[in-house]
Chain A
Amino acid sequence: MQSFLLLTLLLLSIGGYYMGRKRAFAVAGGHIRNLHSLPSFYGSYTALWCGLPALIVFALWATLQPSVIIDLVVAGMPPELRNLPPDRLNLIVNDLKNLVGGNIVSSTPDPAMLEAANHYRNLRVIGNASLWVVVMTLAIGGIAHAWRTISPTLRARNRVEKIVNLFLIFSSTVAIFTTLGIVLSVVFESILFFRQVPITEFLFGLHWSPQTALRADQVGSSGAFGAVPLFAGTLLISGIAMLVAVPIGLMSALYLSEYATPKFRAVAKPALEILAGIPTVVYGFFAALTVAPLIRELGAALGLHVASESALAAGLVMGIMIIPFVSSLSDDVINAVPQAMRDGSYALGATKSETITRVLLPAALPGIVGSILLAVSRAIGETMIVVMAAGLSANLTANPLAAVTTVTVQIVTLLTGDQEFDSPKTLAAFALGLVLFVVTLILNIIALRVVRKYREQYE
C-alpha cells in the first residue's frame, strides 16, 4: 500500500523530469542557448518540486499516523477502559493491535474491544486515503508550480545544485548524529542506572550478580553490580589474546617485509588476511566446539582441572582472530621506515636480524605500539567469541584455566530475552556499554595519534 504510493511518486517524478525538460525547450523556442541552464536542470527542477515536498509529508505522516490513531481510538473508548492505569492500557492497546492484525487474541474479545477495533480500522482507512490525496496533490501541485515558473531566465541549475549540496551536507552529518546517538543513549540509561546503584560501587565493587535484582522481595534484592570481575575477565581474555597475536603477528609482519621473496609475500599476505574476513561467529563456534574441548582434554591428561568454558580457549581463538590486525598494521609501519636507515645499518656490517632489532624496531616502535593498542581495543570490544566460548559466572581470578566472564558477554546476556526498561538489570548493560565505549574510544584516540605523529616524522 505505502510502497505502492512511493512507487507512484517515483513514476510521477520521472514524468515530471521529462515534462520540465520539454517545457524548457518550449519556452526557449527550441534554442537552448536562450536558456539559463541546460534543459536537464529544468527537468530535475520539476522532478524535485514533484517529489521532495510530497516525500517529506509522506515520511512525517507515516511516522505520526500510528500514534495519532491510537490516541483517537483510546479517546473514543468507553470511560471504564480509558481510565485504566497506563500499563493496563498498554496491554489493551496491544490486544487491540492484534485484533486488528487478525492475530489470535488470548480471550474472546468483548464488544467494547471489537468496537474499538472497528474504530481503529476505520481511522486507518481514512488516514491512508487522506495520505494518498495529500501526497498526490502535493506531487501534482509541485509539477504545476514548476511548470508555471519555468522561463528562460529561471536559474534552474543553481536551485538544483543548492538542493544537492544540502543533501551532501546532510549526509555528512549522519556520522555526527550516530556518535551523538551512541553517546546520548548510553549516557542517559547509565545515569538512570547510577541513580539506583552508586557509581563507585559499580566501578570498584568486587561482586557481580545482576540476576538477584529481579524481584524486590527476594533475599539480596539490591543485586550486586560490582563490575571489577567483568573488567578483570575482559583483561584476562584480551591479555591471552594479545600474547598469541602480538608475537605471531609482529614476527609475520617482519618476515613478510624483510625476508620473504615478493612471490611468497604475494601469496602469504592475503592468505593471512583471510583470518580478518572470517565472521566472528565462526571463531566462536570454533572456540566453543573444537578448541575448548581440546584444552579440557589436554588439561585432564596433565592432571589439571580446566573449566569447559575456560578463558584460555576464548583468549587463544581471539588471538588468532587478531593476528591479521597486528600483522597488517605493523607491516604498514615497518614499510614506512626509510630504506636509507636499513642501508646504513647494513653498511656498518649488521646482519638482517640485528638491523631489525636495533634499527627497524626502535624506529617503528611508536607505530607498532599504536597498532597493538588498536588490536587491544578490538579484543576488548569483541563479542561473539566470548559469548559463545567464555562463561557467564563472574569469577575474580587470574587463572586462565578457570571460567571468567567479560563486559560484552554480560551486555548480551542482560539484554537478550525479556526485559523491562527500568530495572537496574537492563540499565546495567548500558552502563557497561558506556565503559566499553569510553575505554575503546580512549585507546583508539591514543593509537591514532601515536600512529599519525610517527608517520609525519618520516614523510
Chain B
Amino acid sequence: MNKPTASPPTKIPSRDIKTIVNAGLARRHAAERRFRWYGLIAITLGLTFVVLMFANIIGKGYPAFWQTYIQVPVTFDAAVIDPQGNRDPQAIETADYAALVRAGMRQLFPNVQGRLELRALYGLVSSDAAHELQDRVLQNPALIGASQEVWLLASASVDTLVKGNIDRALDESERPIKDNQLEWVDKLQAAGKIEKQFNTILFTSGDSREPEQAGIRGALMGSFFTLLVTFLLSFPIGVATAVYLEEFAPKNRWTDLIEVNINNLAAVPSIVFGLLGLAVFINFFGLPRSAPLVGGLVLSLMTLPVIIIAGRAALTSVPPSIREAALGMGASKLQMVGHHVLPLAMPGMLTGSIIGMARALGESAPLLMIGMVAFIVDVPKGFMDPSTVLPVQIYLWSDLPERAFVERTSAAIMVLLAFMILMNGLAILLRKRFERRW
C-alpha cells in the first residue's frame, strides 16, 4: 500500500495504482470465494441438522408402528371360563384367561418342562394377551368350548428381538431374552407363527409400564383438551386486545404500558409461566393439579402475545380507506370494526393463532410445573381429569431405558411433528388462500 510514495516520479501514477490493484486482485478474489464458501457451508450445516434430526427420529420411530404378534392355538375351555355352565356374565368376565394363554403356549411347545422353563415360555406373550381373549369371549360367548388360532400380542423383548434390536452375540445375562426363549422364537418364526401387524395399541391405549401395551391416546386426548381450553381463552381475548389497541385505544401512557408488556411477555421463558401457574392457579385458586384446565390456562397466557401481535399486524394491513368508507356511510366505530375491518383481518388473525396453537402443542416445560408429568393410565375424559400431554409423554418415555420405549418415544415424536406440520400447513394454506394485497 505504501508503494506509490516510493515509486520513481517518472512513471504515471494511474498506471501504478492499476498494477497495485491488479497485484492484490487474486488475493481479494480468493477471499471473496472463501467468504462465499463459509456462507454456503453454514447453510448446508443448518439444513443438514434438519435432515439429520428427521432421519434420526424417523429411523428410530417407524418400527414402532408395527408390533409383533404370536399365533397361539387357544382352546376356550368351558371348564376354565364357565365352570358352572350357566353362562353367567360375571363369571365369564372374571375367569382366568391367563390360564388359556398358558395352555396355548404349552400346546405350541409340548416338550418344555419345569417351572422356570415354563415361566420363560409364558414370558413370550404379553400380559395383555389374557385381556384380548377376555374381550373375544365377551363379544362372542359362542366361542366357549371352541378352539381357535389367535394372534396374541408378543412381549416387548420378543418384539425388540424380532425387529433385530437385540444383539444375539451378547452374553445371555446381558440380554433381556434368554437362550431358550431365543430358540423358541426362532422356531416360531420358522413356522410362520410370528408376524408383525400394524400397531393399533399405540393409538388406542393410554400409558403403561409395559412397552408393548403403552399408547399415546391418553396424551393425545390430554393435548386436545388442553389446546381446546387454550384456544377458547386466548383467541377471543387476543383478538379483543388487538382490536382495542389498534382501533380504539387512545395514545397514552397506559396503552404504552400494555404494549411494552405484551412485547416483553412474548420473550419471557416458558418455564416462568409454569411458576405462575403453580403459584396462582394451583396454590392460590386451588385448582386441581395435572388438569387440562390449568394447563390450558397457562398455555393461553403464553399464546396470548403471539395472537395479539399477529392480530395487530393483520389489522394494520387493512387499508384506512375501508374504515373511512364505513364511517362515511354512518356506521358507528364498533360497526366499522365488526362489519368491515375484522372480517378482512380475520384470515391473518387465524393464521397467527394457528401458529400460536402449534407452539402451545409442542410446549412442555410449564406443564411440568403444574403436575402434568404424572404416570396416568386412564384416558382423560374431561377438563378436570388428571392427564398429560403429548410432549410431556415424550419426555416421560425418553427417561425409560427399554429399547421398545425408545422406539415408542420416536413414534410419539413423529405423531407430534405430524400434527405440527398439519397445523402450520393449514396456516400457510389459509394465508395463501385469503391473503389480500391492497
A residues neighboring B (CB under 8 Å): 63, 67, 157, 161, 164-165, 167-169, 171-176, 178-179, 181-182, 185-186, 188-189, 247-252, 254-256, 258-260, 268, 271-272, 274-275, 277-286, 288-290, 320, 323-324, 327, 349, 351-354, 356-357, 374, 377-378, 380-384, 387-388, 408, 411-412, 415-416, 421, 429-430, 433, 436-437, 440-441, 444-445, 448
Pair B43/A281 contact, Cβ less than 8 Å? no
Pair A172/B258 contact, Cβ less than 8 Å? yes
B residues neighboring A (CB under 8 Å): 21, 28-29, 31-32, 34-36, 38-43, 45-47, 49-50, 53, 56-57, 60, 236-238, 240-241, 243-245, 248-249, 255, 257-258, 261-265, 267-276, 278-280, 283-286, 301, 304-305, 308, 332-334, 358-359, 361-365, 368-369, 371, 373, 391-392, 394-395, 398, 406, 409-410, 413, 416-417, 420, 424
Nearest CB in chain B to that of A412: its residue:
B368
For A411, list chain B residues within 8 Å (CB).
Answer: 271, 275, 369
Q: List 12 A-B contacts (CB under 8 A).
A: A174-B237, A179-B261, A186-B272, A186-B279, A277-B424, A278-B420, A283-B53, A352-B36, A356-B35, A384-B364, A444-B267, A445-B264
Partner of A171, one of B237, B369, B392: B237
Q: State how many angstroms separate the Cβ of B184 from the closest Cβ of chain A.
A: 31
- Bound-state CA distance A171–B233 (Å) is 10
Partner of B276, one of A178, A251, A421, A440: A178
* Other A-B pairs, 4, CB within 8 Å; known A323-B49, A354-B32: A178-B276, A251-B42, A279-B391, A351-B29
Partner of A285, one of B284, B371, B394: B394
For A445, list chain B residues within 8 Å (CB).
Answer: 264
- Bound-state CA distance A284–B45 (Å) is 19
Pair A381/B43 contact, Cβ less than 8 Å? no
For A268, list chain B residues within 8 Å (CB).
Answer: 43, 47
Which among A268, A275, A351, A408 has the greatest number of chain B C-beta atoms within 10 A?
A351
Partner of B272, one of A290, A351, A388, A436: A436
Nearest CB in chain A to that of B423: its residue:
A277
For B49, list chain A residues within 8 Å (CB).
Answer: 275, 320, 323
Pair A275/B275 contact, Cβ less than 8 Å? no
Pair A353/B304 contact, Cβ less than 8 Å? no
Pair A248/B45 contact, Cβ less than 8 Å? yes
Count: A-B pairs, CB below 8 Å: 254
Pair B31/A181 contact, Cβ less than 8 Å? no
Given contacts A281-B362, A288-B398, A290-B56, contact A448 B269 (CB under 8 A): no
Pair A178/B35 contact, Cβ less than 8 Å? no
Pair B394/A252 contact, Cβ less than 8 Å? no
Given contacts A169-B244, A271-B50, contact A185 B258 (CB under 8 A): no
Q: State how many angstroms separate the Cβ of B345 from the closest Cβ of chain A.
A: 15
- Bound-state CA distance A249–B395 (Å) is 28
For A285, list chain B residues within 8 Å (CB).
Answer: 57, 394, 398, 409-410, 413
Q: State how many angstroms separate the Cβ of B155 from the closest Cβ of chain A.
A: 23
Partner of B308, one of A63, A175, A288: A175
Pair B279/A179 contact, Cβ less than 8 Å? no
Partner of A272, one of B47, B262, B276, B410: B47
For A174, list chain B residues within 8 Å (CB).
Answer: 237, 241, 301, 304
For A380, list chain B residues within 8 Å (CB).
Answer: 269
For B363, list chain A residues within 8 Å (CB).
Answer: 279
Pair B248/A168 contact, Cβ less than 8 Å? yes
Nearest CB in chain B to that of A162: its residue:
B334
- Bound-state CA distance A172–B41 (Å) is 46
Q: State how many angstroms separate the Cβ of A350 from the closest Cβ of chain B.
A: 9
Majority SS at the chain A contact face = helix
Pair B398/A278 contact, Cβ less than 8 Å? no
Pair A189/B43 contact, Cβ less than 8 Å? no
Pair B358/A388 contact, Cβ less than 8 Å? no
Partner of A176, one of B45, B261, B368: B261
For B60, list chain A residues within 8 Å (CB).
Answer: 289
Partner of A284, one of B237, B395, B424: B395
Nearest CB in chain A to that of B308: its residue:
A175
For B28, list chain A residues within 8 Å (CB).
Answer: 351, 354
For B271, list chain A residues within 8 Å (CB).
Answer: 381, 383, 408, 411-412, 433, 436
For A63, list chain B residues within 8 Å (CB).
Answer: 285
- Bound-state CA distance A456–B223 (Å) is 42
For B56, list chain A residues within 8 Å (CB).
Answer: 286, 290
Partner of A433, one of B53, B272, B362: B272
For A324, list chain B residues within 8 Å (CB).
Answer: 46
Nearest CB in chain A to that of B284: its residue:
A185
- Bound-state CA distance A359–B378 (Å) is 62
Pair A175/B365 contact, Cβ less than 8 Å? no
The 3 closest A-B pairs by CB, nearest first: A381-B269, A279-B362, A255-B39
Given contacts A248-B45, A259-B39, contact A168 B272 (CB under 8 A): no
- Bound-state CA distance A324–B364 (Å) is 20
Which among B28, B258, B269, B410 has the greatest number of chain A C-beta atoms within 10 A?
B269
For B361, list chain A residues within 8 Å (CB).
Answer: 279
Nearest CB in chain B to that of A385: its residue:
B365
Pair B261/A185 contact, Cβ less than 8 Å? no
Q: State how many angstroms separate the Cβ of B371 from the closest Cβ of chain A.
A: 8
- Bound-state CA distance A283–B365 (Å) is 13
For A258, list chain B residues within 8 Å (CB).
Answer: 39
For A171, list chain B residues within 8 Å (CB).
Answer: 236-238, 240-241, 244
Which among B39, B274, B363, B416 has the greatest number of chain A C-beta atoms within 10 A?
B39
Pair B305/A186 contact, Cβ less than 8 Å? no
- Bound-state CA distance A39–B112 (Å) is 86
For A408, list chain B residues within 8 Å (CB).
Answer: 269, 271, 365
Which among A272, A277, A323, A436 has the greatest number of chain B C-beta atoms within 10 A?
A277
Q: State how many angstroms separate the Cβ of B376 from the closest Cβ of chain A.
A: 14
Partner of A384, one of B29, B38, B365: B365
- Bound-state CA distance A381–B302 (Å) is 14
Pair A175/B362 contact, Cβ less than 8 Å? no
- Bound-state CA distance A353–B40 (Å) is 13
- Bound-state CA distance A183–B263 (Å) is 16
- Bound-state CA distance A384–B267 (Å) is 17
Given contacts A175-B241, A323-B49, contact A182 B308 (CB under 8 A): no
Pair A352/B32 contact, Cβ less than 8 Å? yes
- Bound-state CA distance A458–B34 (Å) is 30
Given contacts A172-B249, A255-B42, A441-B268, contact A178 B301 (CB under 8 A): yes
For A352, list chain B residues within 8 Å (CB).
Answer: 32, 35-36
Pair B395/A351 contact, Cβ less than 8 Å? no
For B236, list chain A residues within 8 Å (CB).
Answer: 171
Q: State how many angstroms separate the Cβ of B137 from the closest Cβ of chain A.
A: 28
Q: State how many angstroms separate the Cβ of A295 from the closest Cβ of chain B.
A: 15
